[in-house]
Amino acid sequence: MTSKALQSFLEENITDLKERGLYNEIDPVQGANGPIINIDGKELVNLSSNNYLGLATDDRLKEVAKDAVDSHGVGAGAVRTINGTLDLHLELEKKLAAFKGTEAVISYQSGFNCNMAAISAVMDKNDAILSDELNHASIIDGCRLSKAKIIRFSHSDMDDLRAKAKEAVESGQYNKVMVITDGVFSMDGDVAKLPEIVEVAEEFDLITYVDDAHGSGVLGKGAGTVKHFGLQDKVDFQMGTLSKAIGVIGGYVAGKGELIDWLKVRSRPFLFSTAVSPADAVASTKAVDLLMESTDLNEKLWENSQYLKDGLKKLGFDIGDSETPITPCILGDEKDTQDFSKRLYEEGVYAKSIVFPTVPRGTGRVRNMPTAAHTKEMLDNALFAYEKIGKELGLI
């Protein structure tokens, strides 16, 4: 029998979210998550996937994944520190280290796990973390788990970062101080000011940590935000995900050999959670191989991104200050934003609304994610839908 207190809590709060336009409906996809998806039998241009390079449905990745199931089975069978470390995991980590330009890499089950693992393995209650106020939820949770003092600095405000770094270091209260930032901010598509962050870090001896989930495969000709700025030797932690541009699942931290050795003996998701499957490991390795061999997919991604951005701006929509393929169409009001997304669905376009608490109140947006797999015809269909609905609702 369900607790009355729990039942009351759930009914009251779910109703409240629905009334305020903050309740998120989940739409199961029938089939693959490609540039065109099928939901409830309806075909839609897909502008909500993180599958930047189209690799999630790439035949070359599917082939090696199938072979890995035959040779290694469907699961790793254990945690990495017992006998769950397969030769395929080591091959993946070696390839990622070469890709990111670091001494070593440790791989995890997800990007979220990386931030939960790596931050708390190095930082503790005697330390402080300077965190950009728009950092991803996984960074926030990883910082909380460490029990370090969390000091937020204004988004990409280098004067504020410098002032707070100076105050934290000179206070003498902390053994270590870390500065942590997303490489690419997932809701606005802007890029962290890494050269300036590194400059502050060097001045105050800060540990540097970059979450490059949305930068890997996108910036730096695919190698990521840190490589884009040529700072591989200046950033202590490069965190990346294998579930976005790479198209599979998992995450990793790249850095010095000693750091990776420490994470292997002290990061809890590595110690206490079963490793990713053989198919996932080998498919990720194949994806990295493809990115190291050619920049064609990366160039197509940027071409499609610019095409969609230009089209939306020409129609009069506010796409913010995005510097990457992430293309927000900022509408403001939460209810209006969700209604706009629903109308796009009716017109054959799947572009999800993003509202509070993912973004600040009053900054609701429809978030568009063009990929290398989209054709110009698909993007034109999306722009036509935007124009039709924008005029219909008096927004353009």
Catalytic residues: 186, 214, 244
Query: What whole-number distance in Å separates Cα of residue 381 and Cα of residue 352?
Result: 16
Tokens 């791989």 sit at which residue? 107
Q: Is 61 helix (H, G, I), strand (E, B) or coil?
A: helix
Query: What whole-number distance in Å separates Cα of residue 119 and Cα of residue 115?
Result: 6
DSSP β-ladder status, 177-182 and 237-241: unpaired
Q: Which residues contact 143 (CB under 8 A, 6 or more apart)?
A: 119, 123, 129, 131, 150, 180
Residue 367 in tokens = 């978030």
Query: What whole-number distance in Å separates Cα of residue 42 and Cα of residue 342?
Result: 13
**Cβ pair 305, 189 in contact under 8 A:** no
DSSP β-ladder status, 42-46 and 327-332: unpaired
Query: What whole-number distance in Å separates Cα of residue 372 and Cα of residue 72?
Result: 31
Write phi, then psi, for 187 (nearest 5 degrees): -95, -25
Which of 320, 351, 321, 323 is CA-nearest to residue 337?
A: 351
